[in-house]
Amino acid sequence: MTTALNGGDAKDVAVAFAGSAHETTESAAIDPRPVIGRLPKYAAGKPPAQVPGLESFKLSSNENPLPPIPAVLEAIAAHSAVNRYPDPVASTLRARLSDLLGVPAEDIVTGGGSLGALNQLLAAFAGQQDDGTQDEVVYAWRSFEAYPISVGLSGAKGVQIPVLADGRHDLDAMAAAVGERTRVVLLCTPNNPTGPALRREETERFIESVPRDVVIVVDEAYHEFVRDDEAVDGIALYRKYPNVVVLRTFSKAHGLAGLRVGYSISRPEITESLRVAAVPFAVSTIAEHAAIASIDHLDEVVGRVQTLVDERERVVAGLRELGWAVPDAQGNFVWLNLGDATQEFAALAAEHALSVRAFGNEGVRVSIGESGGNSRFLELCRTFTKAPIAY
């Protein structure tokens, strides 16, 4: 017998089916892998509270507050064939990046944001060996919140090395932590959430102290915002050292966070393994065309980034005028080392229609947003009597 699934009948059948799917007899508990219970949960930046009479500003996520440039919006609107799979290796985008960066297209592997590119790398190079031993991944802490999650899910063991008092990587301690089981080292520059960028000389000294069979990841999600003349350039390191992998993204400077376009750059001996571990179709056709349009109008992107850098410098100068200790800010955010006053400051910001990112009782990261939000943040700081802990 055939039943027509039209109008109310279709809805009734759907509801009945959904209900029957959960009518089961008693069964054993379905437990995840033990590592799931040990991992922190990723906490995305929350939207601001709505306060009557105040415009709300989200300063809790390191997003670009400006929309994509007009050419990107046009490219997004022009590609509606979402019923077709994208190019699995994003060939056109990789060719454009090759021309832009002066690297072979074969050395570029795309992923769903720089985090997707990182997860592909960990899947290829760090995890659990056939004899059950865990590889180790060394990284600074506090650093990007997803690192311990990604490392744990890969099956590897994370080795966290505390950052220095001024928010910089302790490269000497990281080098000392590299052992026989170390397969990967993660360098976040500028470091999220503390802000400083690694310098060329110290980074090369670190790389040369690490065994050549250890993969060194230079995570440059905020590369376009860096203005430190001595800051390291990941691509220069990749050209010099065969074990270096560079991560970059279109999420920050290009304002494409919602489309998830990132990539890694590495030598062929690494890239060939990354292609095996790469998630198929990770970058959609729309995302690829948007990224290409952004590259093709790079001068407009650079101009927008500079406006955010100018705002960052205004905010940092305002905080230092208050006598607040602020680490060197080279990303699109600033770090307040507030310690036990962290949650109090975050709550006060919420009362003023500002959302900021509080990290336990360690400190607060404040993203650079629209000018009005940045100004209100500075006004709030002027009224807060518990200044960040000096380093």
Q: pLDDT tens digits, residue range 297-331?
A: 999 999 999 999 999 999 999 999 999 999 999 99
| Cβ atoms of 296 and 71 closer than 8 Å | yes
Confirm whether 28 is domain-assigned. no
Q: Which helix (H) or strand (E) segment is 262 a member of?
A: strand 262-265
Amino acid found at 94:
R
Q: For residue range 350-374, what is the model confidence (pLDDT) as tens digits?
A: 999 999 999 999 999 999 999 999 9
Q: Tell which of 296, 313, 342 closes a domain.
A: 296
Q: Tell which of 296, 313, 348 closes a domain.
A: 296
Q: Which helix (H) or strand (E) segment is 80 a member of?
A: none
Cα–chain center distance at 320 = 27
Strand partners, 231: 199
**For position 48, what pLDDT does the model report?**
85
Residue 221 scores a pLDDT above 90: yes
pTM of the predicted model as reported, rounded to 2 decimal places: 0.91
Mean pLDDT of the chain: 93
pLDDT, average across residues 335-357: 98
> Tokens 């590119």 sit at which residue?
117
Buried b (16+ CB within 10 A) or exposed e, 84-94: eebbebbeebb
- Radius of gyration of the CA atoms of the chain, in A: 23
pLDDT cut 70: percent of the chain above it: 93
pLDDT, average across residues 72-98: 95
Of 202, 207, 208, give the one whose Cα is nearest residue 228.
202
Q: For residue range 48-79, what is the model confidence (pLDDT) as tens digits?
A: 888 999 999 999 999 999 999 999 999 999 98
Confirm whether 215 is domain-assigned. yes
pLDDT, average across residues 104-115: 97
Residues 202 and 124 in one domain: yes
Residues 291 and 340 in one domain: no
**For position 2, what pLDDT does the model report?**
47
**For position 1, what pLDDT does the model report?**
45
Residues 328 and 250 in one domain: no
Peptide bond into 193 cis (omega under 30): yes
Q: What is the CATH number of the domain that holds 317?
A: 3.90.1150.10
| Cβ atoms of 212 and 242 closer than 8 Å | yes
Both tokens of 238, joined, read: 């990749």
d(CA 121, CA 247): 10
Confirm whether 35 is domain-assigned. no
Both tokens of 324, joined, read: 């607040």
Query: Between the CA of residue 248 and those of 106, 114, 134, 263, 275, what are the distances in Å?
Result: 16, 6, 27, 6, 17
Of 275, 334, 329, 322, give the one whose Cα is nearest residue 110.
275
**For position 188, what pLDDT does the model report?**
98
Confidence of residue 256 (pLDDT cuts 50, 70, 90): very high
Residues 180 and 285 in one domain: yes
Residue span of the structural domain in which 117 resides = 70-296
Confirm whether 46 is domain-assigned. no
Per the structure, the count of domains in the chain is 2
Using DSSP bridges, classify how beta strands 262-265 and 108-111 pair: parallel, antiparallel or unpaired: antiparallel
Residue 13 scores a pLDDT above 80: no
> Sign of the C-alpha dihedral, residues 246, 250, 255, 257?
negative
Residues 311 and 334 in one domain: yes
| Cβ atoms of 337 and 204 closer than 8 Å | no
Lowest mean pLDDT among 24-33, 141-150, 228-237, 292-301: 24-33
Both tokens of 358, joined, read: 């509080």
d(CA 103, CA 86): 23
Q: Which 3 state secondary structure label does DSSP give 389? A: coil
Residues 236 and 318 in one domain: no
Residues 233 and 280 in one domain: yes
pLDDT, average across residues 330-353: 98
pLDDT, average across residues 264-280: 96
Residues 290 and 259 in one domain: yes
Round to the nearest angstrom and report the end-to-end CA distance of the chain: 77
